[in-house]
Structure 1
């Protein structure tokens, strides 16, 4: 019966893996050639041509014309970032398939190349962000903040993934690397939204489409990374992990805080008219779907008695509930520190909330596993307690006639 239930999940996991590989292989040449027109006007750009066919050439030309000056100030770092980003789209499937196919030597070599390429590519992105004022980024300061957050999350994720591999903790290594690749997948998914969202929101310029997209890209990619890690996990129990680090009162309070955060975000975005309503829809619809799937998976793991899956879903569900509260709490301090208007600050914090909390949930799960492992190690080193000496039996005198 369990095999029958697992068969559709395995089939869905295979389909998702094939789709991911196709998207990565398709996007790799687009990423590598994306900045050619800025280095040499008139040079072919595959992505620009495809996007023009999907929407209109004017839609693309109007948006990219504003990028000439900002990109020109950081062209070399951006070229490094985009070319190496295309290479990462190729190395990612190699990593995934070598892990699934149990090819440790290929996986190790590709992993080293992947990590080095991540650091180099993100260095180019960091130089671009440092040389570009937030308001000059494509879509404004909100997009600059989202890019900076993704950059930090990508670098930290691959670093923690390396540390987990060094400590021979493959499941944590897998989770960190999948989270890292999820952050990287925001690039091709954003391009897909540039071409797909105009069908739902016709007449909007690409910059406005970009603002809607960043409302949910963070939640989508980290949720996909979580689904992938669960699909690749064979463990159902862990003898060292007992109980939960998110007990029912904590989960209940997280739901209350999340509801309050959503209410605050809803009021703030609705006050901005049509633009705010678009951003609210871009945030709420994927958020509700993600919440429903997480809740269902958590309850299913509880019914199966799968303690490992239950704890992972529970920690991530708690983090997802807290994401709107975090966004609401950060809006005012972020706006004051970066001199942003309230609308821009709110859009920025909503765009980064789910990604930041998913990173925190993965970190908490890692601490959970490391703590359990260390506790078990210390217990194995403790000497067994010596049995207490038994009192000697009382000596009895023999009767005289027996002597």
Structure 2
């Protein structure tokens, strides 16, 4: 009974992601038309005006005319190519699952080039825009910059892993890259959904709530996809754990301290503080519960590799609030931010940064295991050790 249910959930998740990507692609490609030519149709704004209100959509458009006008060409490049990435992502994923190697490689090259070009357009816009002039202010600018860096580094590490013949690591980095890219359609969904839960808020205020958890949602989704696709119970050379119980307990203590500090600081703001804290805590607690359950289930079934990966990401998740608490004050003083903006930015990027670090540690874990196998393998008659077999991710 277990296996059919797992396959059904996997198909549901795949279909959902594909539908979201295909739906968002035309939204991304047409989003900046009104800024280049006033009155031009924009599918996303049309939908938003009818799902929330025309005033809600118009207010967001009015505040962007100046900042977007100064970097319109780079932004058009970014948005049009971003829509193309929404189409290429499902092609990449489905071609990998179905073992269509030539299609996967060709689409992968196009995907990587498109990521670099699209992120170059975003980088030009961010460099030309003062953080305070960014959509929803400096916290949003910091989050966008963090996503840009994470996306570029993830696709770069994915390419290096593929060239090194490491499909399991290639898959993880590319899923993380696409997770960062998925912040765009998820944010648009939240523009339509959150006003129903939090009526009366402007899009700027909605964005502040979304910033608190978008990073944690997308990187958590990338982890779930990685674990669903990797059916191995062991990886050559990987034994034991890099996160023994004392280390995991220390991460929990640091995380509890960071959560306590963030909660106290956000509640001390009054006004938006409680809803910002709820926007952070609810997804965080859900992700934590799933990771704990995943590593316990892997331990019960004797799946040492799954247990280790869940455990590494769990430790990173625990450390995310501590990281956010540690950078809030430096962000505030180095960028001249107010307390609300600094707290929002610090909380918003913590889970994404630590999930990136966890993926890097998982990669090092695999590479260390391969090196250990290579060094301990018996040499042939010529004094050479046999090559370590490349492990498959699926």
The equivalent of 1:134 in structure 2 is: 131
> How far is the alpha carbon of 1:378 from its aligned partner?
2.1
Residue among 241, 250, 253 paired with 2:238? 241
User: Contact conserved, 1:80 with 1:121, CA < 8 A, in 2?
Assistant: yes
CA distance in 1, matches of 2:233, 2:7: 16
1:19 equivalent to 2:29? Answer: no
Residue among 47, 53, 57 paired with 1:56? 53
CA distance in 2, matches of 1:317, 1:40: 48
User: Which secondary structure does the structure 2 equivalent of 1:212 belong to?
Assistant: helix
Residue among 229, 234, 239 paired with 1:232? 229
Residue among 289, 301, 304 paired with 2:298? 301
1:373 equivalent to 2:376? Answer: no
User: Contact conserved, 2:92 with 2:104, CA < 8 A, in 1?
Assistant: yes
- More deviation, 6-15/54-63: 6-15
Provide TM-score, normalisation by structure 2.
0.95
CA distance in 2, matches of 1:134, 1:153: 19
Aligned pairs (5 A) from 1:198-347: 198-347=195-344
> How far is the alpha carbon of 1:240 from its aligned partner?
1.0
Q: Which runs of 4+ in 1 moved over 4 A?
A: 381-384
Residue among 169, 174, 178 paired with 1:177? 174
CA distance in 1, matches of 2:168, 2:88: 20
Aligned pairs (5 A) from 1:78-227: 78-227=75-224
If asked which structure has higher relative contact order (CA below 8 Å, sep 6+), I would say 2
CA distance in 2, matches of 1:325, 1:288: 15
CA distance in 1, matches of 2:41, 2:184: 20
CA distance in 2, matches of 1:217, 1:288: 14
- RMSD over aligned Cα atoms: 1.0
CA distance in 1, matches of 2:233, 2:225: 16
CA distance in 2, matches of 1:31, 1:47: 8
CA distance in 2, matches of 1:149, 1:381: 45
User: Which secondary structure does the structure 2 equivalent of 1:274 belong to?
Assistant: coil
The equivalent of 1:398 in structure 2 is: none
User: Contact conserved, 2:236 with 2:373, CA < 8 A, in 1?
Assistant: no
> How far is the alpha carbon of 1:179 from its aligned partner?
0.3
User: Contact conserved, 1:91 with 1:114, CA < 8 A, in 2?
Assistant: yes
User: Which secondary structure does the structure 1 equivalent of 2:38 belong to?
Assistant: coil
User: Contact conserved, 2:237 with 2:368, CA < 8 A, in 1?
Assistant: no
Deviations 1:362-398 (A, max 9, x none): 00000010111012112226579xxxxxxxxxxxxxx
Deviations 1:141-195 (A, max 9, x none): 0000000000000000000000110111111100000000000000000000000
CA distance in 1, matches of 2:235, 2:328: 39
CA distance in 1, matches of 2:162, 2:276: 39
CA distance in 1, matches of 2:357, 2:114: 24
User: Contact conserved, 1:134 with 1:141, CA < 8 A, in 2?
Assistant: yes
The equivalent of 1:399 in structure 2 is: none
CA distance in 1, matches of 2:333, 2:356: 25
The equivalent of 1:394 in structure 2 is: none
The equivalent of 2:4 in structure 1 is: 7
> How far is the alpha carbon of 1:346 from its aligned partner?
1.1
Q: Which runs of 5+ in 2 are unaligned?
A: 382-394
The equivalent of 2:70 in structure 1 is: 73
User: Contact conserved, 1:10 with 1:231, CA < 8 A, in 2?
Assistant: no
User: Contact conserved, 1:176 with 1:362, CA < 8 A, in 2?
Assistant: yes
